[in-house]
Amino acid sequence: MLLIKGGTVVTSERRFRADVLCDDGGKIAAVQADMEAPTGSTIVDADGLLVMPGGIDPHTHMEMPFMGTTASDDFYTGTAAGLAGGTTSIIDFVIPEHGQSLHDAWKTWRSKAEKASADYGFHVAVTHWDDQVHQDMETLVRDCGVNSFKHFMAYKNALMVDDETFLNSMRRAGELGALCTVHAENGDAVSFLQETLLKAGNTGPAAHPLSRPPSVEGEAAQRAITLATVSNTPLYIVHVSTREATEAIANARLRGLQVYGEVLPQHLVFDESVYQSSDWLKASRYVMSPPFREKSHQQALWGGLSSGQLHTTATDHCCFCRSQKEMGLTNFTRIPNGVPGIEDRMSILWHHGVVGGKITPEQFVALTSTNTARIFNIHSRKGMIVEGADADIVLWDPSASRTISAATHHQNVDYNIYEGMTVTGVAKKTISQSRILWDDGTLRAERGQGRYVERAPFKKKTSDSLTEAVS
Ligand code: URP
Ligand code: ZN
Ligand code: ZN
Ligand code: ZN
């Protein structure tokens, strides 16, 4: 048993002084003030620390084959880095290869993820439509613990779906009680702009944001919402990066639609100037989609998060080292899209959000775990400090600072987008399954210790969980 003593528990609702007892089965056994330590228990002094649910990152790409290479953080190193930053579970994406069935792809990802050191689940990408996909979606929901599917409106000739495929998938997901998620960028427009830019001789990273302007995201977000209205299903939009998409979501919600939006901390912090560096490598390291935007979009994202119109934070953690980024040396469209971030999500959000006066500690908890647990239906286990929940806990020092650097991070990648940034708000200890796996600078992550977290379907299109999810 582990007794966390003297800390301040923070949930998405409130803050209170209580001790937290974690049992040997990896569950929270009690949350109570001034608890007696059971015989043989280990006592952790949490004086001056906040006791919060471990972070859930619902958007990662560990060892994902993408754009001719494979993301460099695998399920072990990536989840271990997450633990070092206070994140205790992830939801990663199963991406079927061309011609591979969804169910086979899910099995491939299950086996890749066996080495994970923290808990994980999967969204499964639907990249085309046929009877097999229709059938596999049912198998995945019924037998495999999957309750969400992913759709890419971008990445033409690779992962992109057309509206018809998306509609078929949404209708099927609705029948099964699963949630559809979407990468909203108009892939045809991106492809058109990429060709135009290349023809005009714009081959460097500075062309990347020009090929994916805000309107291209805004249009796709609005279209996804329209299609979700046609199919009468809820929708979760990943990596919202623009005012346009934020407004589309807020307007849909005002009309009573169940639409959720996810924000990546990097979009709150960086703007498009990162692509202007004269150092090619430096600029290429920020190539991700959607790209970093003109600064005014950040205000919309913060407004969305603080007003409750945007609901979760994730990282889209997708690491590529120098030699991989260099695949696009002469052509920006070949730079593997993706940036690292799982280790720093919580610190960045605390520093810029809580310390910056934009969100409260309770909202921080909602945005890093509780809302995600509700939206993806793992709320009975995750995202809460309550008896019976998983003992996934971060002991947070709200006033400690650290300077982020690739020299000290645990992510398996040769750079950090936040290099040199000093942040206040640090994960002191991270507890998973009642065990301290990050202990004030010492990482005790173990290969294979993470568990696959099955996620049950929602009862119906408008299940209790979804309707009560986030107001
Ligand atoms: O650039 C990104 N975001 N790479 C990962 C794939 C995706 O679009 O999420
Ligand atoms: Zn199965
Ligand atoms: Zn995406
Ligand atoms: Zn992604």
Question: What is the distance in A from the centroid of ligand 1 to the CA of 241?
Answer: 13
pLDDT in tens, 244-294: 999 999 999 999 999 999 999 999 999 999 999 999 999 999 999 999 999
CB-based contact 305:363 (threshold 8 Å): yes
d(CA 69, CA 65): 6
CA angle, corner 267, sides to 126 and 201, nearest 5? 80
CB-based contact 154:113 (threshold 8 Å): no
For residue 350, give Cα distances in angstroms to 18, 128, 417, 432.
22, 39, 17, 21
pTM: 0.97
Neighbours of ion ligand 2 (CB under 5 A): 143-144
CB-based contact 404:344 (threshold 8 Å): yes
Domain range enclosing 128 = 53-381+453-470
Nearest to 221 by CA among 173, 263, 269, 185: 185
d(CA 273, CA 270): 8
Higher pLDDT, 460 or 186: 186
Segment 7-36 shows an average pLDDT of: 98
**17 lies in some domain:** no
Question: What is the distance in A from the centroid of ligand 1 to the CA of 338?
Answer: 5
Which pLDDT band holds residue 462 (cuts at 50, 70, 90)? very low
Question: What is the distance in A from the centroid of ligand 2 to the CA of 27?
Answer: 27
Tell me which amino acid residue 105 is: A
Q: Helix 214-231 crosses helix 187-199 at what angle (to 10 degrees)?
A: 160
**186 lies in some domain:** yes
Proximal ligand: closest to the CA of 104: 2
* Phi/psi at 459 (5° precision): -60, -45
Q: Structure tokens of 268?
A: 């709150």
**268 lies in some domain:** yes
Question: What is the distance in A from the centroid of ligand 4 to the CA of 277?
Answer: 24
d(CA 55, CA 233): 27
Residue 288 CA: nearest ligand 1 atom is: 1
> Hey, whose CA ends up nearest to atom 2 of ligand 1?
338
**Which strand (E) or helix (H) includes residue 93?**
strand 87-94
d(CA 110, CA 258): 30
Probe target for ligand 1 pocket from 62, 289, 333, with the most ligand atoms within 8 Å of CB? 289
CATH of the domain at 354: 3.20.20.140
Q: What is the DSSP string of 16-68?
A: EE-EEEE-TTSBEEEEETTPPPPTTPEEEE-TT-EEEEPEEEEEE-TT-EETT
Residue 368 has pLDDT above 90, yes or no: yes
Q: Which 3 state secondary structure label does DSSP give 324?
A: helix
Probe target for ligand 1 pocket from 70, 287, 288, with the most ligand atoms within 8 Å of CB? 288
Question: What is the distance in A from the centroid of ligand 2 to the CA of 139?
Answer: 6
Please identify which residue in the block is written with the tokens 């009468």.
232
Which pLDDT band holds residue 460 (cuts at 50, 70, 90)? low
Neighbours of ion ligand 4 (CB under 5 A): 316
d(CA 469, CA 371): 7
Give Rg (Cα) of the chain: 21
Residues with CB under 6 A from ligand 1: 61, 183, 288-289, 316, 318, 337-338
CA angle, corner 399, sides to 396 and 404, nearest 5? 80
Segment 383-390 shows an average pLDDT of: 98
Residue 471 has pLDDT above 60, yes or no: no
Tell me which amino acid residue 301 is: L
Question: What is the distance in A from the centroid of ligand 4 to the CA of 103?
Answer: 20
**118 lies in some domain:** yes
* Phi/psi at 98 (5° precision): -55, 125
Residue 387 has pLDDT above 80, yes or no: yes
Which pLDDT band holds residue 465 (cuts at 50, 70, 90)? very low
Domain tally, the chain? 1
Q: Which 3 state secondary structure label does DSSP give 189?
A: helix
Probe target for ligand 1 pocket from 337, 339, 342, 413, with the most ligand atoms within 8 Å of CB? 337
CB-based contact 118:432 (threshold 8 Å): yes
Residue 459 has pLDDT above 80, yes or no: no
Half-sphere exposure at residue 69, Cβ-oriented, CA atoms within 13 angstroms? 19
Q: Structure tokens of 450?
A: 């993470």
Average pLDDT over the chain, rounded to whole? Answer: 97
pLDDT in tens, 410-438: 999 999 999 999 999 999 999 999 999 99
Question: What is the distance in A from the centroid of ligand 2 to the CA of 224?
Answer: 29
Residue 461 has pLDDT above 70, yes or no: no
Can you name the residues that pair with 92 across neighbouring β-strands?
60, 122
For residue 408, give Cα distances in angstroms to 137, 204, 441, 443.
41, 30, 10, 12
CB-based contact 80:343 (threshold 8 Å): no
d(CA 420, CA 406): 9
**39 lies in some domain:** no
Residue 148 has pLDDT above 90, yes or no: yes
Which pLDDT band holds residue 402 (cuts at 50, 70, 90)? very high
Q: What is the DSSP string of 214-268?
A: HHHHHHHHHHHHHHHHHHT--EEE-S--SHHHHHHHHHHHHTT--EEEEE-HHHH
Maximal CA-CA distance, the chain? 73
Segment 83-89 shows an average pLDDT of: 99
d(CA 154, CA 127): 11
**169 lies in some domain:** yes
d(CA 153, CA 183): 6
d(CA 258, CA 272): 31
